[in-house]
């Protein structure tokens, strides 16, 4: 027999039904996704660290859009290391070496660098020598644009006992091996691969909360420029728009095909 008191207790013990949260449109907020490229880069940096106390080189290379600049710049920012973009003007200008060395000095914290090439170079070397040996690291991005700087950079590495990481595109291995003195001081090189389907899925979820189907991710990663992070971002933004229009976070192969078909139909 169930008493009124017992019935009341039973009613109180029932779990409260929770209403589902209202659907919200996805919003893109870039997130950092660890990739095999980054892991290989960090392994190279550890190799360079083991050689602290002597001038040495590391190389990060492959085609544009593979994440070379962002990965190396992130490490440089975390470790307060200079990260210079080798400018086109430095390749063609008659005062290019001065511009390069003054920029390097400023990256090393020298606010008023000398107005002579020798003065800038000597001060940059001295500033690097003031640092503990493992902390003497310099990144030079798009080095393939300015191959004539290799010997100058070699002297910088040699005199300061610094690790210099050279970043560039497909021509970097040939450029490096063509300069025997630089190549003999190169401890490691990392070739950045294109992003795969798993990385694309992880990026979509971390940046916008999208659940990208594996088949859809494979379609996107195998399409032309599918491993290029710039192309991935543009396609992801389009996918967010399509998903929001359908009030969903699920990215199906059909949605991936729609993005790729629209991309193919655009004038080039």
**Taking the model in full, what pTM does it have?**
0.86
| Residue 25 falls inside a structural domain | no
| Residue 205 falls inside a structural domain | yes
| Residue 152, phi-psi category: left (phi > 0), alpha (psi -120 to 50), beta (remainder) | alpha
164 and 229 belong to one structural domain: no
199 and 185 belong to one structural domain: no
The pLDDT tens digits for 170-215 are: 999 999 999 999 999 999 999 999 999 999 999 999 999 999 999 9
Which CATH number is 166's domain given?
3.40.50.300
Structure tokens at 38: 């980054």
199 and 157 belong to one structural domain: no
| Residue 7 falls inside a structural domain | no
Q: 221 CB contacts (<8 Å, ≥6 apart)?
A: 194, 195, 196, 197, 200, 227
113 and 234 belong to one structural domain: no
118 and 251 belong to one structural domain: no
Looking at the 3D structure of the chain, how many domains does it have? 2
Helix (H) or strand (E) holding 141: strand 137-141
| Residue 83 falls inside a structural domain | yes
171, 191, 211: which is the final residue of a domain? 191
201 and 187 belong to one structural domain: no
| Residue 14 falls inside a structural domain | no
| Residue 22 falls inside a structural domain | no
Per residue of the chain (268 residues), what is the pLDDT tens digit?
555 555 555 555 566 677 666 778 999 999 999 999 999 999 999 999 999 999 999 999 999 999 999 999 999 999 999 999 998 888 776 568 889 999 999 999 999 999 899 999 999 999 999 999 999 999 999 999 999 999 999 999 999 999 999 999 999 999 999 999 999 999 999 999 999 999 999 999 999 999 999 999 999 999 999 999 999 999 999 999 999 999 999 999 999 999 999 888 764 4
- Closest Cα to residue 157, out of 190, 181, 191, 188? 181
99 and 168 belong to one structural domain: yes
Rounded CA separation 166/141 (Å):
6
């Amino acid at each position: 027999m169930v008493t009124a008191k017992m019935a009341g207790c039973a009613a109180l013990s029932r779990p409260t039904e929770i209403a589902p949260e209202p659907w919200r449109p996805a919003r893109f907020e870039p997130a950092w996704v660890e990739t095999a490229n980054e892991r290989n880069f960090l392994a190279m940096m550890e190799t360079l660290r083991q050689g602290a106390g002597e001038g040495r080189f590391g190389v990060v290379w492959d085609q544009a859009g593979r994440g070379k600049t962002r990965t190396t710049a992130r490490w440089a920012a975390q470790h307060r290391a200079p990260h210079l973009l080798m400018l086109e003007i430095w390749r063609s200008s008659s005062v290019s070496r001065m511009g390069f060395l003054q920029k390097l000095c400023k990256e090393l914290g020298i606010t008023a660098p000398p107005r002579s090439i020798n003065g800038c170079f000597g001060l940059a070397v001295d500033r690097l020598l003031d640092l503990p040996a493992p902390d003497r690291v310099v990144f030079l991005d798009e080095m393939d644009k300015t191959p004539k700087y290799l010997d100058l950079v070699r002297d910088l590495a040699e005199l300061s006992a610094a690790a210099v990481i050279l970043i560039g595109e497909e021509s970097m291995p040939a450029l490096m091996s063509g300069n025997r003195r630089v190549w003999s001081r190169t401890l490691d090189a990392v070739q950045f691969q294109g992003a795969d389907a798993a990385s694309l899925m992880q990026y979509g979820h971390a940046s916008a909360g999208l659940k990208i189907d594996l088949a859809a991710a494979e379609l996107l990663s195998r399409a032309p420029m599918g491993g290029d992070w710039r192309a991935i971002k543009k396609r992801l933004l389009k996918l967010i728009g399509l998903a929001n229009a359908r009030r969903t976070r699920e990215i199906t192969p059909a949605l991936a095909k729609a993005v790729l078909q629209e991309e193919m139909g655009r004038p080039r």
